[in-house]
């Protein structure tokens, strides 16, 4: 029988790639979007799938609305991708983030529990759960030390997912996904902010851009491959938690240097701390400036994930790593700015 997937956060980067993957697997895909006056489906448009998805208005803050939708859609699988997902924003809006990213998970789990306990449930957890923990690389057994309102809200969602599995025997799994990027990544996140800015510098539309902490290292993978991990987690015999990562860490500084290399520019760093700048080696023009406005109230220097459980139990492995990922994203942003 044809399966039906209900995806919350269908307008997100991951929502678009997951919907694309599931349509190719012959699922009926129903996507929940926020009932704003002007919802943006540009990511679905870019993948050419907007018309293949049934779009329904939802809000994770409204449990009644979620229950009505789940009862009507009768999904086989529910993927909860919706969240207030930007860490910086979570420091400025901690209560909203707690409500959407944390309590929102319970609203959806309740809707599943009250409708059909046979529905398989995926919760989008994050490497931000590990935060300041000093164990590397991080796996499913690593202790959590979340250090932003976003990460604390996600930790609540993580445990509620496990609680609904243990209390009600719901097939509820969660992926602890490390940062994953793509040409569809939101412009507020550091990787896409940089590929977009470097492409605009290349086309003469921008002189320079500001940046925060240059030396944090992150484990960055390709979103298109990470959604395959989500799907695989709901096809197993028993629900569980899995780390999805590349097991490589690189700094924001390296990301910037590699992007500029693609347009034939070498960046030379000068100064230190808040006075550090990056100049074009040939022309001497300042292209990057450190701006403390982009520093975070709490920060951690490194994430690196050990995905061996996902490889062993799901047969999942990343193919696209740092340099290749940057090439894909730069190519897309250069094209957008031609």
Q: Which residues are part of the catalytic machinery?
A: 126, 128, 150
Q: Tell me which of ligand NDP, ligand GDP, none is bound by residue 213, counting a contact when its beta carbon lies within the kind-specific cut-off of 5 to 8 angstroms.
A: ligand GDP
With CB under 6 A as the contact rule, the residue among 60, 105, 197, 256 that binds ligand NDP is: 60
Three-state secondary structure along 78-104?
A: EEECCCCCCHHHHHHCHHHHHHHHHHH
Backbone angles phi, psi at 266, to 5 degrees: -100, 130
**Min separation Cβ 46 and ligand NDP, Å:** 13
**Does 186 participate in binding ligand NDP (rule CB under 6 A)?**
yes
Q: What are residue 180's DSSP bridge partners? A: 221
Identify the residue whose tokens are 């996600």.
Answer: 154
Identify the residue whose tokens are 């307008």.
Answer: 11
**Does 177 participate in binding ligand NDP (rule CB under 6 A)?**
yes
Using the minimum distance from each CB to ligand GDP, give the nearer residue, 32 or 149. 149
Site string for ligand NDP, 99-138 (x = CB under 6 A): -x-----------------------x-x------------
Q: Is the peptide bond before 8 cis (omega within 30 degrees of 0)?
A: no
Interface segment toward ligand NDP; rule CB under 6 A; list 81-89, 112-120, 267-275, 283-291: 81-89
**Does 13 participate in binding ligand NDP (rule CB under 6 A)?**
yes
Which residues, including other chains, have CB under 8 Å from residue 48's CB and lie 6 or more apart?
A: none
**Min separation Cβ 105 and ligand NDP, Å:** 9
With CB under 6 A as the contact rule, the residue among 4, 12, 138, 174 that binds ligand NDP is: 12
Q: Tell me which of ligand NDP, ligand GDP, none is bound by residue 59, counting a contact when its beta carbon lies within the kind-specific cut-off of 5 to 8 angstroms.
A: ligand NDP
Q: Quick check: 123 and 173 in contact, CB under 8 A?
A: yes
Q: Tell me which of ligand GDP, ligand NDP, none is bound by residue 83, counting a contact when its beta carbon lies within the kind-specific cut-off of 5 to 8 angstroms.
A: ligand NDP
Q: Quick check: 75 and 5 in contact, CB under 8 A?
A: yes
**Does 241 participate in binding ligand NDP (rule CB under 6 A)?**
no
Q: What are the helix (H) ranges across the chain?
A: 13-24, 42-46, 63-73, 87-92, 94-97, 104-115, 149-168, 190-202, 223-233, 252-262, 308-314, 322-336
Q: Tell me which of ligand GDP, ligand NDP, none is bound by residue 90, counting a contact when its beta carbon lies within the kind-specific cut-off of 5 to 8 angstroms.
A: none
Which residues, including other chains, have CB under 8 Å from residue 99's CB and lie 6 or more apart?
A: 61
- Binding interface with ligand NDP (CB under 6 A): 8-9, 11-15, 34, 36, 58-61, 81-85, 100, 124, 126, 177, 179-180, 186
């Amino acid at each position: 029988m044809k399966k039906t997937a209900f995806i919350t956060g269908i307008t997100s980067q991951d929502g678009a790639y997951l919907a694309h993957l599931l349509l190719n697997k012959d699922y009926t895909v129903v996507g929940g979007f926020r009932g704003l006056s002007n919802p943006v489906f540009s990511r679905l448009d870019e993948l050419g799938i907007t018309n293949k998805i049934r779009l329904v208005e939802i809000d994770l803050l409204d449990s009644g609305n979620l229950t009505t939708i789940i009862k009507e859609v009768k999904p086989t699988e529910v993927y909860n991708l919706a969240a207030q997902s930007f860490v910086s924003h979570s420091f400025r809006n901690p209560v909203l983030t707690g409500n959407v990213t944390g309590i929102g998970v319970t609203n959806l789990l309740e809707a599943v529990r009250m409708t059909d306990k046979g529905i398989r449930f995926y919760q989008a957890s994050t490497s931000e759960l590990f935060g300041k923990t000093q164990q590397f690389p991080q796996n499913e057994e690593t202790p959590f030390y979340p250090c932003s309102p976003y990460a604390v809200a996600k930790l609540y969602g993580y445990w509620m997912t496990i609680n609904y599995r243990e209390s009600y025997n719901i097939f509820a799994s969660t992926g602890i996904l490390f940062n994953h990027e793509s040409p569809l990544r939101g412009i507020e996140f550091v990787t896409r902010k940089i590929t977009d800015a470097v492409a605009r510098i290349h086309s003469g539309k921008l002189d320079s851009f500001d940046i925060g902490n240059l030396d944090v290292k992150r484990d960055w993978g390709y979103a298109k491959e990470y959604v395959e991990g989500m799907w695989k987690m709901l096809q197993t015999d028993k629900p569980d938690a899995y780390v999805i990562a590349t097991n490589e860490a690189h700094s924001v500084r390296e990301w910037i240097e590699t992007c500029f290399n693609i347009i034939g520019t070498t960046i030379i760093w000068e100064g230190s701390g808040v006075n550090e700048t990056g100049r074009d080696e040939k022309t001497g023009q300042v292209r990057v400036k450190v701006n403390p406005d982009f520093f975070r109230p709490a920060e951690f220097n490194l994430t690196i994930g050990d995905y061996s459980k996902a490889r062993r139990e799901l047969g999942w492995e990343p193919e696209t790593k740092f340099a290749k990922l940057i090439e894909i994203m730069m190519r897309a942003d250069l094209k957008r700015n031609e």
